[in-house]
Structure 1
Amino acid sequence: MHFLTELGRERFSQYERDLCKGDKSLDVMFDEDGSVWFAGIPNRNDFQRLRDLLTKQGHSVQISADKAQNR
């Protein structure tokens, strides 16, 4: 969390803490058209490994995770 103002620090500093292992979790959502959506905090390269696995199985995969590394 980055506090931009003192007012923000006063109001939200109680929520600032180190990341715990339990914080890294994913939610999975399924659309009626068969699309699968993940949201949350994955471990490093989790989505890239999932993409590679699913692509090898013939699935169409698009990810938005850390596109800067793909350049």
Structure 2
Amino acid sequence: MLAKVRRWGNGLALRVHKRDLESAGVAEGDVVQVELIRSPEGGQLDLKSLPTFEDGDKRASERHDRYLYR
């Protein structure tokens, strides 16, 4: 999820869309842990930075969960 940093009083605040918070099960007053990762302008992600795997099995994409849930 992406959030926009905006001025709020003498400080800054993160603005997150209500639908994103609802889908994450977050409500007003909840305590959450936030990890900040600065995104490039426009919110575009560089897909080259994402982890990848190679597999000789041509059906590997159908069984990707074996890599995720070892």
Same structural fold, with TM-score higher than 0.5 when normalized by the shorter chain: no
Q: TM-score, normalised by structure 2?
A: 0.23
Q: TM-score, normalised by structure 1?
A: 0.23
Higher percent of residues as helix = 1
